[in-house]
Structure 1
């Protein structure tokens, strides 16, 4: 299994480059410790199983992470990309493939200003259904790219994505949760979306319950947050429609702070509850 540091080593024939035939993980590392490591490894192995791609051992992954992050002072983000490698005839993969993987760590500072509250918008793009890929962090992320291209206004921090049923799925790069009568919910991601590792930890801890919601329901929720395993939790202060119309506003962020209080310890981040 080949290991390359950086995009200069990607072969023209690599199936990850040609077809998005692979997976990736983006891991927050604090003081040399990878946050939510077991969840990242579990998701990577789930993706490998479903795509039929062999993976490095957990020790090899951890050693690569430690070596990359040793060159970075302070917090870091470690990114790992695994592809099926080269070979095959067109879309047909080779019967025996030698996966390729590369990794890199870069310094990182969380966008703590967004911990105070953000404006989000609904995206025009509708996520397609593909249960065979739902949940895993595969390399074919063109829907997310297209959705993120929909706005350039720096005052909008994230875009929310719906599926063809009109149900909320996720943000362009974050999971979503909403609060009703003191209980926090998140979409089930059976048809599309990425099952984030912080989401997995919160589900395991009993802080989240799987449910479904549409735009109207979301607008009337008591609180809404977007979150991921790198940036932490961003409370929504305003939700805009894809046409720029204000759909909802949350002036009291006390409920949002309780979600941050439960979620941020998984990342070593502070709670904002005073």
Structure 2
């Protein structure tokens, strides 16, 4: 079953339609999580919930009870299938004006989607995006609902031969891809961009940080070009080796293959690629 299905709620009450004045719609005033489902279960559910709660605390946003979300998710995946589960939480209170209304029940929606197509065999082909990400430390790291920068960046190319685009901030530091985090390897040292000014701190990024002991630091475009290996990662697609960026090409690196093995042991939705089994 791959057709999109959804459930809508206000607080713990099922509603028939998402309000047109929902603050997430009107102002991007909300958070979302995109989760890989394996046989009806979200293996990284605790990590997604922890990130959601951390973002909600920073925004002063009420969240639906975890029990309510879990029950609704079970209903969407009652066939025990695989797919993608998206949770969107909007601050409660509608109408016009930026001022949030205190102590309102959140609006939230869960939707089920099909898995993305398998990644390109041999590794991803990347490009540089022209758009530069703005710096806003108050929002850095969160998966908030204002994603217009990513929308504009992804609109820069239509070439089916390009899998992803890398984004820099206004100061020229690499932040990540339009929908993934990035790690670079020099010798035995992994580095990933610091996300204290902008960017999304992904759940799979946290896994790779723990598995590699990577340094969080400023990363330049030159650091990408001189790397021994580059990978992208997110919670839906896992760890994806990069094969080419402009004129630079990379063969599959043993360190990346090792991380894919680690991920396969930690998350049942990401089996070993055939060549690594």
Moved more, 199-208 or 162-171: 199-208
- Distance in structure 2 (CA, Å) of the matches to 1:113 and 1:57: 35
- Distance in structure 1 (CA, Å) of the matches to 2:206 and 2:132: 24
Instruction: Note the 1:6-17 alignment, pairs <5 A.
Output: 9-17=17-25
2:163 is paired with a residue of what secondary structure?
A: strand
Q: Give the TM-score normalised by structure 2.
A: 0.88
Residues 139-164 of structure 1: CA distance to partner in whole angstroms, max 9, x if unpaired? Answer: 00000000000000011000011112
| 2:7 alignment partner in structure 1 | none
- Offset, 1:115: 5.6
Q: Give the TM-score normalised by structure 1.
A: 0.89
Q: Is the contact made by 2:88 and 2:108 (CA closer than 8 Å) also made in structure 1?
A: yes
1:251 and 2:259 matched: no
- Distance in structure 2 (CA, Å) of the matches to 1:30 and 1:78: 10
1:173 and 2:170 matched: no
1:47 and 2:48 matched: no
- Distance in structure 1 (CA, Å) of the matches to 2:13 and 2:192: 36
Change (3 A) 1:159 1:96: same
Q: Is the contact made by 1:233 and 1:264 (CA closer than 8 Å) also made in structure 2?
A: no
1:213 is paired with a residue of what secondary structure?
A: coil
1:257 is paired with a residue of what secondary structure?
A: helix
Q: Aligned pairs, how many? A: 264
| 1:270 alignment partner in structure 2 | 271
Q: Is the contact made by 1:82 and 1:102 (CA closer than 8 Å) also made in structure 2?
A: yes
| 1:86 alignment partner in structure 2 | 93
1:124 is paired with a residue of what secondary structure?
A: strand
1:94 is paired with a residue of what secondary structure?
A: coil
- Offset, 1:95: 2.7
Alignment equivalent of 1:64, drawn from 72, 75, 93: 72
- Offset, 1:4: 5.4
1:95 and 2:102 matched: yes
| 2:33 alignment partner in structure 1 | 25
Residues 116-139 of structure 1: CA distance to partner in whole angstroms, max 9, x if unpaired? Answer: 311101100001111111111100
- For structure 1, the residue ranges without an aligned partner over 5 or more in a row are 241-245
1:209 and 2:215 matched: yes
Change (3 A) 1:167 1:263: farther
Change (3 A) 1:232 1:116: farther
- For structure 2, the residue ranges without an aligned partner over 5 or more in a row are 1-10
